[in-house]
A and B are shown apart, each in its own frame.
Chain A
Amino acid sequence: MAQAQVPVTVLTGYLGAGKTTLLNRILSEQHGKKYAVIVNEFGELGVDNDLVVNADEEVFEMNNGCICCTVRGDLIRIIEGLMKRKDKFDGILVETTGLADPGPVAQTFFTDDEVKAKTRLDAIITVVDAKHFLGQLDQGSEAEQQIAFADVILLNKTDLVSEDELKKVEAKINSINRYAHIFRTQKSQIELNAILDKGAFDLKRILEFEPEFLHHGHDHDHEEEVKSLSLTADRPVDPDKFQKWMGALLQLRGPDIFRSKGILAIDGAPRRYVYQGVHMMMDSDWGTPWKDGETRSSKLGFIGRNLDGENLQRGFNDCLK
């Protein structure tokens, strides 16, 4: 029964941000689609649906000597079980607990062959409580990590704060993750098309990612803060040097680098080389061909902690022809 890979959307966010409200809307609204939902607290959802599955957030370390290589063992099991169903569904939503690190969930889709064969990670959605977000940032690294991993951010409960406060929250979110798409919402009201089936992890769609240039001059951020940065190059990339540099970088800094993606103009190659990763795990492929006369420039994007932009740019420059 060959079928296309089922898209999986991961839903993160602090307790009380509005995840359950969003899930209830997805499950109860008439949109003609069927979603399986993996939740961590049974019974919180008001909807009685046999496609709602209770999970235990079992985070497993892979026994391969890589400390940041953690996966969600329960997800592997549950997805395998769901795929045996007769009635197929349009997508799977995975809700994580309020304090969860989204890393292991995302890495599960890079690691397990069977999960990879039957499903694809579509996007990570983070629901943010506009009123309490800035305070939550001070309570630990979770709120920051959830922003760092996000492809889509629902800035929720906007009715509870002023426009000025909202702008402050948005600026903070942007400073952590400038690639995510932010939607302002109230009561998690959002057009589902805007957040589901985004293909954020689809290598074919990486071309849609447009990194901004490094902002020099506003680098008085604390070193340990999470931020995004982009590197660019106009000269072609030497593939061997790049592989060596990136391999060493991820080996050394993998735990601090949450997300990375890039489009490379490899020396002599007619097509773009695209990649993306979560911590130390990476997927790559050849993308669309360069057109005649097109400027062949490369761009890399990182979201992580303790990133030294100048140092990274120097390292990247050394990989160029």
Chain B
Amino acid sequence: MKLDLANPAWRQTLPPGRSVAGDAPAVACAFNKDGSLGGFALGDGRVRLLPADISAGETAAGEPLHGGVVLALVDDPAGDGFVSGGDDGRLLRIAADGRTSELACQKGKWFEHIAGHRATGAIAASAGKNAYVVKAGEVREFGPHQSTVAALDFSKDGSRIACAHYGGVTVWSIGQVVLPPRRFAWRGSHVALKWSTDGKFIATGTQENDIHVWRMAQATDMRMQGYPAKVKSLSWTADARFLYTSAQPVFTAWPFSGKGPEGKPPLQFGDEGAGLMTVVAAHPAAEFVAGGYDSGELQLGDIKTKRSVVLKMADGSAITCLAWSPDGFRLAVGNEAGTLLVLDLRR
């Protein structure tokens, strides 16, 4: 792969790419399955689809798809576009050509969190205290949980979903056989969740600025403290050896190979940013990572060489979302001011 993420030239000039001024804060972003489009969820109800190919023409902003804020966006695991959720209570499928269809509607609730599972084509989304799984046109409800679901994710094989809420995590089998859910309890409110890429761990970020990790096999758990803010962004490396966490001024990765991270400090590298990392995204294949800051900076790093480069963004607005293209050559970046970028990181 011809990528050098610690390219010093990028300190002065951003890598080639496409930059669009959205009219509202960017909330979430993703690339579709074939990587041809970067999708951005915005605070005005719009979902902007930007061609990844820089030479392609500009697309129109389009009409708002949701009534209020688009709260979540993922690539569609069963289609060529995206799936979005909004505070109008609708879960929408957006095709690559922009056409939409409604997957679910929960009037008066917000569709806040969505996850997709590529191999099975299943979509999981949460509205209020319930999670919904959409697969092959069928919608199934899981819940209610003891509080509003604050994050969710699929297991590696797609057979289960994990929902974070007040008091811990609930894991549901989503196969045709209905099994009682498994509960992993830890006091307090859990506000972020990511299932490890090897399926062995579930990590959450808590209201009390901690990280909590459960080992699935033994149902044992561990807690990592010392963050100055809530860890709202978690990202496992493709090989599941590291868990990246936001809310630090540098890249912070907990090692999960061997005996796990207990009693060890996290691996930290990169330049100290002007603020704290708000969002972190591990590369889908290689040992690279991207982090966005509340100061608007963007940092790219390489965990093997510990080299990194900080990219100055023009407007200094907090970065709210990051996504790698499936081939790992492009990066989508959105910020609070509504600047939407698709960067081409190939040399």
A contacts, CB < 8 Å to B = 1, 42, 50, 53-54, 56, 58, 60-64, 71, 73-74, 76-77, 81-82, 84-87, 112-114
Contact = CB atoms under 8 A, between A and B. Distances in A.
A84 B43 contact: yes
A81 B110 contact: yes
Contacts of A50: 67-68, 88
A56 B24 contact: no
B71 A61 contact: no
B88 to A, nearest CB: 8
B100 interface: no
Given A42-B108, A73-B207, 13 more contacts: A53-B87, A56-B147, A61-B188, A63-B186, A63-B189, A63-B207, A73-B166, A81-B71, A84-B69, A85-B68, A86-B42, A113-B229, A113-B230
B150 A62 contact: no
A258 to B, nearest CB: 23
B189 A60 contact: yes
24 contacts: A1-B337, A53-B87, A56-B147, A56-B148, A60-B188, A61-B187, A63-B188, A63-B189, A73-B166, A77-B150, A81-B69, A81-B87, A81-B110, A81-B112, A84-B43, A84-B69, A85-B44, A85-B68, A86-B24, A86-B43, A87-B44, A113-B229, A113-B230, A114-B230
Interface in B129-174: 129, 147-148, 150, 166
A73 B148 contact: yes
B25 A84 contact: yes
Contacts of A81: 69, 71, 87, 110, 112
B23 interface: yes
Name which of B110, B129, B186, B317 has the most chain A CB atoms within 10 A of its CB.
B110
Contacts of B187: 61, 63
B341 interface: no
B287 interface: no
Contacts, number: 77
Contacts of A71: 207
B173 to A, nearest CB: 26
A62 B188 contact: yes
Contacts of B336: 1
Contacts of A54: 108-109
B308 interface: no
B69 A85 contact: yes
B131 to A, nearest CB: 15
Contacts of A1: 25, 317, 336-338
B128 interface: yes
A34 B189 CA distance: 31
A86 B71 contact: no
Contacts of A114: 230
Interface of B: 23-25, 27, 42-44, 67-69, 71, 87-88, 108-110, 112, 128-129, 147-148, 150, 166, 186-189, 206-208, 229-230, 317, 336-338
B193 to A, nearest CB: 14
B25 A74 contact: no
- For chain B, what secondary structure do more than half of its interface residues adopt (helix, strand, loop), or is it mixed? loop
A58 B150 contact: no
Contacts of A63: 186-189, 206-208
Contacts of B206: 63
Most B-side CB within 10 Å, residue of A63, A82, A112, A114: A63
Contacts of A112: 207
B128 A56 contact: yes
Given A50-B67, A86-B43, A58 B208 contact: no
Which residue, A50, A56, A85, has most C-beta atoms of chain B within 10 A?
A85
Nearest to B228: A113
B23 A86 contact: yes
Given A85-B43, A114-B230, A73 B71 contact: no
A73 B317 contact: no
Contact of B27 (A42, A73, A84): A84
Task: From A56, A58, A81, A86, name the one whose CB has the most chain B CB atoms within 10 angstroms.
Answer: A86
A81 B111 CA distance: 11
Nearest to B24: A86
Top 4 A-B pairs, shortest CB-CB distance: A63-B188, A86-B24, A86-B44, A84-B43
Contacts of A84: 24-25, 27, 43, 69, 71
A61 B188 CA distance: 6
A243 B206 CA distance: 30
Nearest to A73: B189
A60 B166 contact: yes
Contacts of B25: 1, 84, 86
Contacts of B207: 60, 62-63, 71, 73, 76, 112
A74 B148 contact: yes
A60 B164 CA distance: 14
A63 B210 CA distance: 10
B43, B129, B317 — which one has the most chain A CB atoms within 10 A of its CB? B43
A84 B27 CA distance: 7
A1 B87 CA distance: 21
A58 B147 contact: yes
Nearest to A82: B69
Contacts of A61: 187-188
Contacts of A56: 128-129, 147-148
Contacts of B112: 77, 81
B147 A60 contact: yes
Nearest to B338: A1
A85 B43 CA distance: 5
Contact of B148 (A53, A64, A77): A77
Nearest to A84: B43
A58 B27 contact: no
Contacts of B148: 56, 58, 73-74, 77
A58 B166 contact: yes
B126 to A, nearest CB: 11
A113 B230 CA distance: 9
B285 to A, nearest CB: 31
Contacts of B110: 81
